[in-house]
Chain A
Amino acid sequence: MARSTAASTNANRERTESDFASVLASGTRVRGRVRGDGDLRIEGHIEGDVAVSGDLAIEDGAAVKGDVQAANVTVGGELTGDVSARGAVVIRATARVAGTMGGSEVSLEEGASFDGRIEAEFDLPPELTR
């Protein structure tokens, strides 16, 4: 059965379903460790750490208990654990998040529930470093 698992090379943040090489659907539960290359979309439940080289999306209705590591991380569901992103962390309005968010930038939409720390690595603009 041929399926496209080619990594998306476009820099566009807006992703469609087919861009994700891996999907853990809503009726799927994982207890254990998930790691590897490519993007991952989580719609189901995961108990355990997740580390992927591509982008990670935790959709509305999904639940993750564990630390996550990815390029860019988008959270629309429930996450209990620390996030370590090389790029951006986006916490959507539907998200319920507890943990430390680490990334080059972290954004929090209005309506999201968040309990934890934000550690964004960036340089302060010159007018603030005086």
Chain B
Amino acid sequence: MAQTIIGHGLTIEGEITSDDEVTVAGTVRGRLSSEGAVIVDTGAVVEADVSAGSLSVGGSVTGNVTASDRVDLLTGGRLVGDVKAARITIQDGASFKGNVDMDV
């Protein structure tokens, strides 16, 4: 298991790169890139450009997002920034401000 968990209460300022899944329940500022999934839990704060295989947002993300597969904005999630992804879903109750580029 090579899963990274940034727990509630933990803050990382800088650049994070990973070759596997990253779950954020705390705070990340800077840049976050993963070859796998990035999961931003409810209550998490990400002020960073995110590049990932897929991104699921239940917390707050401020920054530009690039996903090779998909972006899912969940109920209660908040995303401010431009999204570049082949697939995107925005659930009822999610907040979003930015542009979407589905590469068509």
Show the binding face of A for B, using Cβ within 8 Å: 1, 3, 5, 20-38, 40, 43-44, 48, 52-53
Contacts and interface: CB of A to CB of B under 8 A. Distances in A.
Given A3-B41, A44-B4, A36 B11 contact: yes
A33 B20 CA distance: 21
A36 B41 contact: no
A37 B20 contact: no
A21 B8 contact: yes
Given A25-B20, A33-B13, A40-B10, 8 more contacts: A3-B25, A21-B5, A22-B10, A28-B17, A33-B11, A34-B10, A38-B8, A40-B7
B8 to A, nearest CB: 4
Contact of B18 (A27, A33, A36): A27
Q: What is the size category of the interface that chain B forms with chain A?
A: 20 to 34
B14 A30 contact: yes
Nearest to B27: A36
B1 interface: yes
B4 A23 contact: yes
B10 A38 contact: yes
B90 interface: no
A29 B14 contact: no
A22 B5 contact: yes
B99 interface: no
Interface in B47-104: 56, 58
Nearest to B2: A25
Interface in B15-36: 15-20, 22-23, 25-27, 30
Q: Which 10 A-B pairs have the closest CB atoms?
A: A32-B14, A21-B7, A37-B9, A27-B19, A36-B10, A22-B7, A28-B18, A25-B2, A5-B8, A25-B4
A8 to B, nearest CB: 12
Contacts of A30: 12, 14-16
Nearest to B30: A32
Contacts of A43: 2
A26 B2 contact: yes
